[in-house]
Structure 1
Amino acid sequence: CSKRLCLDKLVQPISSESLQGDPCFQAGRNWSKLLNASLPYFLNGEVLRKCILLNTLRLTPKKQKVFDRVFVEYLRVLKETVKQLPNANSSTQLHHLTYSSIRESSFLPSDVVQEARKDVWAKRKTLKNGFKRCSIRLNKRWFRLVPSNRGNPCLKVTYSPSKAFVIPLKLDRGFQRFNSFIKDGWSYGNISLLNDGRVAMVLEKDFPEPENSRRYVVGVDVGSSMLAAVTVYDTDTSKVERQLFFGRDVANKQRRFFERRRKLQSYADKGSGKAKKYLRKLKHKQRNFVKNRSGEVAKQIVTLAKRFDASVAIEKLGIRGRKRRFSKKSNRKINLIPYGRFKEFLSANCETENVPLSVVDAYHTSMWCPHCGAVNKGHHSGNYSLNKCKLCGLTMNSDRKASLAVAVKSVLERTSQDLTKPCFVQISNTRVPVNGLVRPDADGSTFAVQHV
């Protein structure tokens, strides 16, 4: 059969450690939240992780009975752990209060009991009515991929010492995708059994860190009016090759989603059940739209960087910690910026395409003038999207200027030197001081890099 899998390449030990404490599976094992947290790529140093879903064939009545029994027992362990939650001040204390008694009464392995305790502790602040559904996380000790008598792939799960059952996997596009990742050098470590019968599997791969010494730099500014403003800066000729906008539709549609949700919420507060139903649907629709567009824009930026053989630079935003300083309307705009998700997609695409990525400090990137080097707010009185320098009078788009500042700052931060004299960078035919882009440290000295 052309779809039959060669399992010799799949049944192999992984080189890295088991993914204990992986953030992909920290959302109470609720499968919908699990997918929302896991499907994006995760960057951990030089190790890239991702989670994919594998569909399974229909189980026989005997296997289905065992499958249901395991989930019922896991839910019982969760409920027993929840009872001791008010008496515990830490996860370790919760372990001492529950582990011995649960191990005496449960047939589940020790590792699975530990995972149940982690589930409860992770959801302790939002846990109100207990667990109604769950997923069971298993490490490499308790499962393995085996071929059936016909050579089809199966998952052998050990749910108790010397007791196991086999879950047949469906040979669909999802499994073909999993097989292609394995052939590309990805390895699998942990799985989660979902209560709808599917299997969520975590893959990981080590990527070498590319050398960040390329001629072109793609500076990315993330904002509320558009998702990403991009500047391609040539470090040899000191010229701006191209400036583009990506994701303008994200902010516009986010505003429409907000207005629609606010209207539905007003009906829901009056007791409308239909409004509550549509409100839940609209929430998921908005989340999926933002996730899809963030991935598409990140892919377009990395494609642009590959075309110029450039590195990518993005500013590090602490928007969640700064939103208390602004008005209610400004805070709402900040909350609609999908910075974290977009950065995850951008990091993953850069790693897989071997494109260097640097995260620079956002200090004064929106206030720096690329013509005279002055640092001022300088927003145009008639149009907030424009920036007019109070010193030289240069007027330009704020997002374009900020993306250029990010690109210049990434060049400056390739090596670090103490600035005892003014530092300049060449942009077109102008030598622009860049000392204003660098954050002074606690003792007042300034560190940056002179343009190479």
Structure 2
Amino acid sequence: MQETTVFTYRVSLPPTEWAKASAARRSAGDLWTRLVKIHRFCRKRHWPWPTEAQLKAHFKGRWPLHSQTIQALIEKFFATMDGVRTKRQNGDKKARYPWRFRRYFNPIFKRQALKMQGSHLRLSLGRGREPIRVRLPDALPTGMRVQAELGYGEIFLTVTRILDDPQPPVSEKAGGLDIGVIHLGVVSDGQEALAVSGRGLRSIKQGRAKGLAHLQKKRRRTQSGSRRRKRLNRARHRISQKVERVTRNALHHAANQIVAFCLATGITMLYAGDLGTLNHQKRHRRSRRTNQEIGVLEFGRLEQYLEYKLRRYGIPLIKISEAYTSQTCPHCGHLNKVAGRTYHCRACDYQAHRDGVGAVNILNKGMHQGEIRPGTLLVPERITYRRPVPFKRALRRSPAEPRHVAGGISGSESGGSLRGVHTPRRSHNGSLRISAL
């Protein structure tokens, strides 16, 4: 059984290596911009778009990058266009082809351009050019390093590992998972339930939006190329990177707690609501506040973390449609518009936890081939509430510190450092507010 995982590491490069890394990122940005211009030129004149092989042969040796890096960037550009084309065919007319010019872009180094030399990772830039040497932590994951993506002060290392085939489960026991905003995930097997809070992560996202808006207001009063604008740009980047690290750590911990619950209760398969089944044509009917809350949260990343963490224990994550799972009464089957955090059925006067109703109905749907059978499963009376990580402490220290959760699963797979950022303040309404300057 093969597993592919992306590990993120914060890196601090000496001046010589930093100059080579910046030049490589600049060259990758120039190549991406060139691809965007060619695509725009051909589309405007309705000319046939060159094939992937033609572009690889055309740009071979024209950029100070490894040949595999040039090919990887072209492949990523074509994959992006294929995704946009698929969205347009499915009715999303607002999907845009790559249009933005990039000053810097993350170069991708394939396995042929990677080599370990002691504690340093050697990133080849092609024949006749000095490679980039990146120092990595001593405790590297075992497996084959198939790809590395060099970002601004961080590197994304893709590792493929061969796992032993898990033993088939003796008995089948299913669970249901409801992913949301107030609670990142509510998982239940019909007898017990676990709710992982998402309020802290939402507060962090709101603090980032306020901090960036405050910086943007100051940035408008500066001139292009001034030192003050450069300082403000660096402050914006620090805020975004800090929130990115805290978010990644929180989602890892939330996924670990859900996996620990599945192992503790003996769940052998987990049904989760497929957020991709929502009707995109009705999204404009949501309020602006709801769109902002949903837009900044990363449900897809949480599902990705859950999928590969559960796969280690042989537990499949099965996605099913979550239509009407939060409105259908599990006791009588009546549909109700829910207001507040408590579900109240007007037909039978049944009351339960709102997200617990969604998790139980998703489980009911998965067990009965997409049909919710009333009276079969009810929300457990006792629900355990957990926070993924104490955000007040996480913002003041590195989220890479291992922290154990129920079931003995450690959430130390995320990396990062919070050095060089400002301490958050507490606003008048109790939410965390990031102080930028």
Using the size of structure 1 for normalisation, the TM-score is: 0.61
Say yes or no: does 1:220 pair with 2:146. no
Match of 1:177 among 140, 145, 151: 140
Q: Deviations over 1:72-116 (max 9, x none)?
A: 877776676566444344996165775555447678665444335
2:110 is matched with which residue? Answer: 138
1:209·1:356 contact (CA, 8 Å) conserved in 2?
no
Alignment partner of 1:348: what SS? helix
Alignment partner of 1:407: what SS? helix
Q: Percent identity?
A: 14
Match of 2:201 among 250, 267, 276: 250
User: For residues 407 and 211 of structure 1, do their structure 2 counterparts lie closer, same or farther at Cα, with a shift above 3 Å needed?
Assistant: farther
Say yes or no: does 1:361 pair with 2:334. no
Alignment partner of 1:367: what SS? coil
Aligned residues: 350
Tell me which protein shows more strand as a share of its residues: 1
Root mean square deviation of aligned Cα: 4.5
2:178·2:358 contact (CA, 8 Å) conserved in 1?
yes
Task: Give 1:284 shift.
Answer: 3.1
Alignment partner of 1:227: what SS? strand
1:114 is matched with which residue? Answer: 71
1:409 is matched with which residue? Answer: 365
Task: Give 1:188 shift.
Answer: 2.8
Q: Distance in 2 between matches of 1:104 and 1:165?
A: 16
Higher relative contact order (CA 8 A, sep 6+): 2
Paired amino acid for 1:324? H
Say yes or no: does 1:379 pair with 2:333. no
Match of 1:304 among 246, 261, 281: 261
User: For residues 54 and 175 of structure 1, do their structure 2 counterparts lie closer, same or farther at Cα, with a shift above 3 Å needed?
Assistant: farther
1:85·1:94 contact (CA, 8 Å) conserved in 2?
no
User: For residues 363 and 116 of structure 1, do their structure 2 counterparts lie closer, same or farther at Cα, with a shift above 3 Å needed?
Assistant: closer
1:19 is matched with which residue? Answer: none
Q: Distance in 2 between matches of 1:94 and 1:408?
A: 48
1:229 is matched with which residue? Answer: 186
Alignment partner of 2:273: what SS? strand
User: For residues 228 and 164 of structure 1, do their structure 2 counterparts lie closer, same or farther at Cα, with a shift above 3 Å needed?
Assistant: same
Alignment partner of 1:390: what SS? coil
Q: Distance in 2 between matches of 1:336 and 1:69?
A: 32
Structure 1 or 2, whichever has the larger Rg, is 1
1:328 is matched with which residue? Answer: 288
Paired amino acid for 2:109? R
2:26·2:105 contact (CA, 8 Å) conserved in 1?
no
User: For residues 167 and 212 of structure 1, do their structure 2 counterparts lie closer, same or farther at Cα, with a shift above 3 Å needed?
Assistant: same
Q: Deviations over 1:162-212 (max 9, x none)?
A: x68777775x6x24323xx23xxxx3323446687x875421235557757
Q: Distance in 2 between matches of 1:193 and 1:277?
A: 19
Alignment partner of 2:303: what SS? helix
Alignment partner of 1:50: what SS? strand
Q: Deviations over 1:34-69 (max 9, x none)?
A: xxxxxxxxxxx964332455979979x9x9999999
Task: Give 1:377 shift.
Answer: 2.2
Say yes or no: does 1:391 pair with 2:347. yes
Say yes or no: does 1:343 pair with 2:303. yes
Alignment partner of 2:183: what SS? coil
Q: Deviations over 1:260-286 (max 9, x none)?
A: 544554454555957665444333333
2:376 is matched with which residue? Answer: 426
Paired amino acid for 1:352? R
1:316 is matched with which residue? Answer: 274
Q: Distance in 2 between matches of 1:65 and 1:395?
A: 62
2:242 is matched with which residue? Answer: 285
1:155·1:166 contact (CA, 8 Å) conserved in 2?
yes
Q: Distance in 1 between matches of 2:253 and 2:297?
A: 16
Paired amino acid for 2:72? E
Using the size of structure 2 for normalisation, the TM-score is: 0.62
User: For residues 72 and 247 of structure 1, do their structure 2 counterparts lie closer, same or farther at Cα, with a shift above 3 Å needed?
Assistant: closer
2:320·2:366 contact (CA, 8 Å) conserved in 1?
yes
Q: Distance in 2 between matches of 1:125 and 1:48?
A: 27
Alignment partner of 2:140: what SS? helix
Q: Deviations over 1:128-148 (max 9, x none)?
A: 3x43454242343x5555x7x
1:224·1:334 contact (CA, 8 Å) conserved in 2?
yes
Structure 1's unaligned 5+ residue stretches are 1-44, 234-239, 430-452
Q: Distance in 2 between matches of 1:291 and 1:217?
A: 27
Q: Distance in 1 between matches of 2:288 and 2:104?
A: 36
User: For residues 225 and 56 of structure 1, do their structure 2 counterparts lie closer, same or farther at Cα, with a shift above 3 Å needed?
Assistant: closer
